[in-house]
Structure 1
């Protein structure tokens, strides 16, 4: 029977911000790297899928962090797949500090992309071969929520360049998150408060496009939307500090 797989980490100096705590981008990057490594180790990573001209694409993700660890602190990321649906696979993560306290919970939903058609693949066709990877353990947090559109004009623009593009030839997940963080007041990162961040990926952003970022404070949430040069919503995020 499949079990959770855990990977050790340490907060390195290049990963911290002015608060000397690891950035959300560094944490998110390590989490997504573990997703790729774990899938590769178990035989259904991007390298294996590419042989059939398929790839994994992140559809939605929800992060919950109680705090961000400080520089040089050791921590562990455990990951497991809890289910395969028709179009989405759910991969979970728990982040635990060196004293054994869980400080982070992440639930991500992935689709398989046909790279020639740029359309999603019905996962029922591959679910049987991946059954051995499913762990009988529920997600550690609520699944990603649908994020509403902010009613606001853009406050930042960015032209997609080479360094923004990932192996699927569209904008890297963490670049979206970096753009969202860059429109928030810096004071948000000076104080340490628990955070939930929901992100919905709606459409691909490609090389050469000029993206715009809009922000709206709505109740307890900060809504952020990244738009294409044609005005279409590409990605939405909802920050909720608790």
Structure 2
């Protein structure tokens, strides 16, 4: 068992991880972040396999990804992750991705909530007494995940209906699927002429099979957008996102 608190993971970018430009998609990046976090947590004794025995699961509350460059098809990538700190109901976990020359190509930060599946409410993270060395001095991203605030009244919405393939082990729409919906809102022409520089998301309320989500986008400037996904039936916000392009 690794007692340093850092966890290392290596992988090769696969053909189904990339887009038509042979660059890794944000959806695939988020899937690897989720998988690596789970591997580390399970190995250290506080992952899904362990907490589900206490009727709890880890739920992603927020994510920030800052990109220096996107990995390309067949590239070998080294990932390092660690728990930064626990703060009552939130556990912060950060990541760095390296190429074969040791250059940092991506930084990410995530906030996780320990959610009780029967009580349907968050639990104090410290109540589980996890034995993992934390590194509050090591923060990967340039700033912490912010609380995104924006009004979207009067903006025309597009709709997305949650599908069976969007659901995860908990039975709600997986966080990686939200990212896919956000990216699909942009045209192929836009993607061909722009690259994502950073993505930040606040996850607010879960979405389940059959829910109709309304997507509204507010342009902040030529290179930045704020996006809202809201459940149509009750106006509950599912997520708020900030995307920066170059």
Instruction: Give the TM-score band, short-chain normalised.
Output: over 0.9
**Is the 8 Å Cα contact of residues 44 and 132 (structure 2) preserved in structure 1?**
no
Equivalent of 2:120, from 118, 121, 125?
Answer: 118
SS class of match (1:178): helix
**Is the 8 Å Cα contact of residues 44 and 131 (structure 2) preserved in structure 1?**
no
Tell me if 1:66 matches 2:85: no
Deviation above 4 Å: which 4+ runs of structure 1?
191-194
SS class of match (1:108): strand
Q: Which residue of 2 aligns with 1:103?
A: 105
1:115-166 CA deviation, whole Å, 9 max, x = no partner?
012110012312xx32433235421111111223352535431222221111
Between the two proteins, the alignment pairs up a number of residues equal to: 240
Unaligned runs of at least 5 residues, structure 2: none
In structure 2, distance between residues paired with 1:130 and 1:35: 15
**Is the 8 Å Cα contact of residues 194 and 245 (structure 2) preserved in structure 1?**
no
Equivalent of 2:191, from 189, 192, 214?
Answer: 189
Equivalent residues in 2 for 1:156-171, closer than 5 Å: 156-171=158-173
In structure 2, distance between residues paired with 1:164 and 1:77: 26
Tell me if 1:240 matches 2:235: no
TM-score, length-scaled by structure 2? 0.91
Tell me if 1:89 matches 2:59: no
Q: Which residue of 2 aligns with 1:132?
A: 132
In structure 2, distance between residues paired with 1:96 and 1:122: 33
In structure 1, distance between residues paired with 2:206 and 2:168: 11
* Inter-CA distance 179–154: structure 2 relative to 1 (3 Å threshold): farther
What is the deviation of 1:197?
Answer: 0.8
* Inter-CA distance 204–119: structure 2 relative to 1 (3 Å threshold): same
Equivalent residues in 2 for 1:29-44, closer than 5 Å: 29-44=31-46
**Is the 8 Å Cα contact of residues 56 and 110 (structure 1) preserved in structure 2?**
yes
- Comparing 208-217 with 97-106, which one deviates more in the overlay? 208-217
TM-score, length-scaled by structure 1? 0.93
